[in-house]
Amino acid sequence: MKKKPELSIIMPVYNVKAYLDRSIKSILTQSYEDLELIIVDDGSTDGSSEMIDVYAREDERVVVIHQQNGGVSAARNAALQVFKGRYVTFVDPDDFLSKETLEVHVEYLEANPDVDILQYPYCNYIDDNHAVDVILHDSATYSGRDEIFKAWWSGTPIEYTLCDKIFRREIWNGVTFNVGHISEDTGLAATFCQRAKKVYISEKGMYYYQRNRADSYTYHYSFDKHIDLFNAHYTIFQLFNHYPNMTTEKVLAFTRILRRLIQAKEECPQADISIQQQQLIHISPSLREISRSENTEKIWLYAAKILGIKCFMKLFLLYLKQ
């Protein structure tokens, strides 16, 4: 009987043949070998399907699932139903890993069984001469719900993205991606903040995000992308009810959500955002909370509070057009 792998790597694939070989090889040539690579072909039509079938024939660690196109969330959900590892991570098919990334981090998780999530560095990759915007935080451990939420709510130093993290299997029990939505990973932060006992940030390894693809999911923030991010951050914002002492963080989080809705409306002026505006009215911080907050943009928050969200947004969007 084939031994269960320690680490499962989930890769959704849709028409990325130009980058796929590099991505898969960066995983299969890792110094760490006790892994399975679950590749979900999400209805590719460019030859990606045939390429991953070849890898599956040549390396027994590669598991392939073919399905009709349903989007990246549906593809990842299919893999979550079958993965076998004690740990799980995600790699997108146009991205790749430095060779030592997996070994050092699986070893750390095995030596520290109380760490549920491990995050490692990433950078935006254009070509061999342009690896830019390296996101490298000092190594640190965050323990308990309060500390983890405080480090995660803003996306720093614990980042929202899933692809720079390795998770213990149990963290994903009963969790799936929201199919049909673009910012599928950001909204899950609210779940993981409540489940994780410890999160470790590592300075080792590297995840390379390919950033010169015009069809990349993150290439352009469309109206739908802005609204998905609004909804994700709105979900995270609900957790502030459990942390009444985080006034500054709560006000900053509201500022972020309000700014996202303004950007959405700016992207698509004719769109109906009345539901989202009502949500903002419902969660708007009090004048007292705004006044008590530190390092926040108080003037425009006071204006939004006094004028009302709808009136403020209307006037602010007119100002942006000037």
Check residue 220 and give its pLDDT.
62
Each residue's pLDDT tens digit, 2-44 = 678 999 999 999 999 999 999 999 999 999 999 999 999 999 9
Distant-in-sequence, close-in-space partners of 304: CB < 8 Å, separation ≥ 6: 258, 284, 312, 313
State the Cα–Cα distance between residues 298 and 138, nearest whole angstrom. Answer: 31
Contact call for residues 186 and 234 (beta carbons, < 8 A): no
| Rounded Cα gap, residues 244 and 289, in angstroms | 10
Query: Which residue type sits at 123?
Result: C
Q: What is the pLDDT of residues 180-208, one digit of tens each?
A: 777 778 889 989 999 999 999 999 999 99
Q: Does residue 259 sit in helix, strand or coil?
A: helix
The pLDDT score that the predictor gives to residue 214 is: 45
What's the CA dihedral at 69, 74, 76, 81 to 10 degrees? -120
CA distance 158 to 170: 19
pTM for the model stands at 0.91
Average pLDDT of every residue of the chain: 92
pLDDT one-digit tens code per residue, 122-159? 998 877 666 667 778 899 999 999 999 999 998 899 99
The percentage of residues in the chain with a pLDDT greater than 70, rounded to a whole number, is 95
Task: Quote the distance between the C-alpha of residue 122 and its chain's center.
Answer: 12
- Cis status, amide bond into 157, omega within 30 of 0: yes
Cα–Cα separations (whole angstroms), residue 300 to 103, 114, 178, 277, 296:
48, 43, 33, 16, 10
Sign of CA dihedral 104, 109, 111, 112: positive
Residues with Cβ < 8 Å from 170, sequence gap 6 or more?
A: 116
- Do 105 and 120 touch, CB atoms closer than 8 A? yes
Angle (CA) 148-154-155 rounded to 5° is 80
What confidence category does residue 216 fall into, taking pLDDT thresholds of 50, 70 and 90?
very low
- Which residues face 127 on adjacent strands? 130
CA distance linking residue 226 with residue 231, whole number of Å: 9
**pLDDT grade, residue 221 (50/70/90)?**
confident
In this prediction, residue 43 carries a pLDDT of 96
- 79-90 pLDDT tens trace: 999 999 999 999
**Residue 304, both tokens:** 């939004």
Can you read off the two tokens belonging to residue 270? 């004719």
So what's the pLDDT on residue 5? Answer: 96
